Amino acid sequence: ATLGNHRSRSAAFLASASPSSAAAAAAAAADSGAAYDSVLATSLLQMSCKLRRCSDELLSKLRRSRHLSRTPSPTDDLPMLQQRSPDRQQQHRSQLQDSLHSCLYNLQAVQYQLSIIERAVFPQAKSGRSSALGSCSEGEYLMERDRINSEMRGFQPIEPPQQQQQQPSVGRVGK
């Protein structure tokens, strides 16, 4: 916000200095804003790529040490960026959008990979998982197990099992 204020102040100062340079000052402010946005987006993209690379390496180490299964990662199923050919007027804007979209994609992949790592490192932790064992405490689990076992002991079938008559097995005749 402060950078935008500095840009508008400098543009207003240059505009008051000479009327012919008002358009040049506005263009310079727009160019500096676009350059700032581009630098910021590039920095965010580089940081997200580094985070993604680190989480990929950590997942690989966990898989090599057999703490995780070797199944393919569902992060490969996340939608990839579709390359498009932008117009010349929108080239800077689409590059900025593509950088931000790539950054968001990397951060979503890192978030997913961190949840996998958390489950591998802390299997008993409550992390919002929907599995039956992960959503209750050990005491609740033991009480539920005892309840099911007592129901199984008291189970009475509706019909008694039928005794199958054993018929003598017929031997095979060789040729």
pLDDT tops 90 at residue 14: no
Confidence of residue 51 (pLDDT cuts 50, 70, 90): very high
**Which residues, at least 6 apart from 63, have a Cβ–Cβ distance to it below 8 Å?**
69, 70
Mean pLDDT of 82-100: 65
State pLDDT tens for residues 95-151.
888 888 999 999 999 999 888 888 877 777 655 544 444 556 778 888 888 888 888
Burial class (CB in 10 A: 0-12, 13-18, 19+), 62: middle
Instruction: Look at 7-21, 73-87, 127-141 and tell me which has the smallest mean pLDDT.
Output: 73-87
**Token pair of 31 as six digits:** 């160019």
pLDDT at 52 over 70: yes
Res 54: pLDDT = 92
Distance, CA of 48 to CA of 108 (rounded, Å): 10
User: pLDDT band at 168, cuts 50/70/90?
Assistant: low
Mean pLDDT lowest for which of 41-55, 76-90, 114-128, 138-152?
Answer: 76-90
Confidence at residue 35, expressed as pLDDT on a 0 to 100 scale: 81
Higher-pLDDT residue of 27, 66: 66
Percent of the residues in the chain that have a pLDDT greater than 70, as a whole number: 51
Q: What is the pTM of this model?
A: 0.45
* pLDDT recorded at residue 146: 86
SS3 content of the chain, % helix, strand, coil (to 5): 65, 0, 35
